[in-house]
Chain A
């Protein structure tokens, strides 16, 4: 019984391998194409920490202090003063053209007001249409400005004969030390890329399964497929999925070892657990793919549905925009995507080094997806027997 089961699977698996090798497109899809797409996403963000974001300055004071502030801004590695303008209107136009991300206006009488303790106000208009870049510019501007004023303050306090040891406390009674945990360098590669790449990986997992099963029905070649499995649908399905399961796991291992091996990004977890998570992620994705396919049993339509299901997944992962702030409907949709649970597990393992008991709930969630295998196989079975009855 067991040996015939294995023999059937082996026969289908062999047939599937030759099918893959026979189609140039299918072969690309399971070999180099996913790797190329993932490397492309990495290449876009490979800089990791943005540098020299363009800022325009409108210096209406032309004093030593205002020039010093401009130097402070330029010295911040994230910012670069690319143009000095005479009025704000020019700055607005540059911002609309996307040439600068912010305009800093230093008012007339800036230096004089500092000495008269009149607290002059420097305005910084930053482009918030690009939220991510805008946040980077504004937080770096705030940091730079704080250093600038602290320096002035220290000089003034010294000048009034303040005690050197007390100056720091007098200038800023409370300072805050901010520690970014789990991504110490606040680099965008571990943050954005490590979420985008798995989202892309899921799309490839889904599509390769949809294409493999859909092609059989499109080419009306089910008979030869089931025949290899002696008409046993379960073996036919498993044998057909197997090459894709293995290749998708290999792709997963490749991106994990690229980031945590080759690029040596920090990894706190256990590679064994990570492997388990990877396998579960592939199985869950394949189960859903098969289920989607059985909804229509039509290749082109199944791929359209798979596209609708997997293309927006990145937005729902919750890495760019926090899941807690999503409406209930989004949270529901989010829970229905295997990649959400995979990402929670990956972050838990890579960043936090979670123990097995802590992984368990999300692993079970991925496990639940594999139940759709059963439904899918039953649907293929009934479709198959209807087909046999028609003959």
Chain B
């Protein structure tokens, strides 16, 4: 036991003696917690700039323009004379879309002829495109309904009946779990899990790799003499302790500051978080044995971040990702942790629902633990052979 405590102390000393580790851990964790949510702090995008091409210039077209402007989705920057002019404005980056009101708009409506509004949106920017589309469809739909009710009132002379008849059935589209369709609630909880994983993989990688560097320089360090199992346990304990504090900051303080949903009990979160952190530490120690240079750790993790995030299933549906890639992504602890924690904390699922993710993470922790011990033992033998 004393040997183990001594190892823990040595590991703590190694961690705090390395400026790169401290920079990544404290600097990175805090900086990323500010930088990643920054673009989305207003949650939703509103008032996309559009222009109107009004070929009708009637009272009804003016009414439509007023209604479009009243939606929170689109803001009318002005009117132009042709589609060409509008496209030129899009290409200069001034506006994101335009609405064409056809000639004889009012006359055709009065004559009960169908009229078609035409909407052009810059689909280079999907988010804005869908905002504009939904705004104009809403405004057009409302005006359409008003006209239909007005007509039916003439026909049936009963306002009440007419109102009910304008549509055979209605659709109530209800967003759940993230009622405002907010981007912070969407991106932040998942990205926080990824940041915890990636920085932890980096710091444990730097620690192992710099010890490898020192071994090569013939330094007889404690990492070459300690039992691999005890070394893994000591390192795991140190990083687990540190990262539980960081997790508290991320899932407690930071999510609170950003006003992101937190539906799960702290205890339930811990039941997923601890196996997740253990799996990551073990993977980190195992990977660390493969690096010869301390800085390789940061690079490997940096390059893999985007593929790991994109394949974790919350941006792009898993059913649309090639099977072989889904299989690979299951090897990263973040995939199970993101899905499990989102279901638990953001969607309010019972713990039983996510217990399969807990099992997956525990299996990963065990498998990567065994791998780490094997690699640690292998490295120790290699350097001891080099010594003699």
Contacts and interface: CB of A to CB of B under 8 A. Distances in A.
Interface of A: 25, 29, 33, 37, 40-41, 43-47, 50-54, 92-93, 95-98, 101, 110, 113-114, 117-135, 138-139, 141-142, 145, 148-149, 152-153, 156, 166, 168-170, 172-184, 186, 188, 190-191, 196, 199-200, 203-204, 207, 211, 214, 299-301, 303-304, 307-308, 310-312, 314-316, 318-322, 324-327, 329-330, 333-334, 344, 347-348, 351-352, 354, 358
A128 B91 contact: no
B45 interface: yes
Given A50-B320, A110-B169, A315-B36, A176 B140 contact: yes
Contacts of B114: 168-169, 172-175
A169 B113 contact: yes
Interface string B160-201: 010011111111111111110111011100000000000000
Q: Which 8 A-B pairs have the closest CB atoms?
A: A128-B175, A180-B123, A183-B123, A325-B45, A96-B349, A169-B114, A352-B91, A174-B144
Contact of A186 (B117, B126, B168, B293): B126
Given A124-B173, A304-B20, A311-B302, A172 B144 contact: yes
Interface residues of B, number: 116
A322 B168 contact: no
B116 A177 contact: yes
B306 A199 contact: yes
A333 B315 CA distance: 24
A191 B316 CA distance: 13
Contact of A179 (B39, B46, B119, B124): B119
A204 B349 contact: no
B266 interface: no
Contacts of B91: 348, 352, 354, 358
A45 B47 CA distance: 29
A37 B311 CA distance: 13
A46 B324 CA distance: 13
Chain A CB within 10 Å — which of B24, B39, B48 has the most? Answer: B39
A304 B24 contact: yes
Contact of B23 (A25, A101, A304): A304
Contact of A25 (B40, B293, B307): B293
A99 B93 CA distance: 40
Interface in B100-130: 108-109, 112-130
A321 B38 contact: no
Given A97-B349, A129-B186, A138-B175, A173 B112 contact: yes
Chain B CB within 10 Å — which of A168, A308, A344 has the most? Answer: A308
B119 A177 contact: yes
Nearest to A180: B123
B303 A176 contact: no
A102 to B, nearest CB: 9
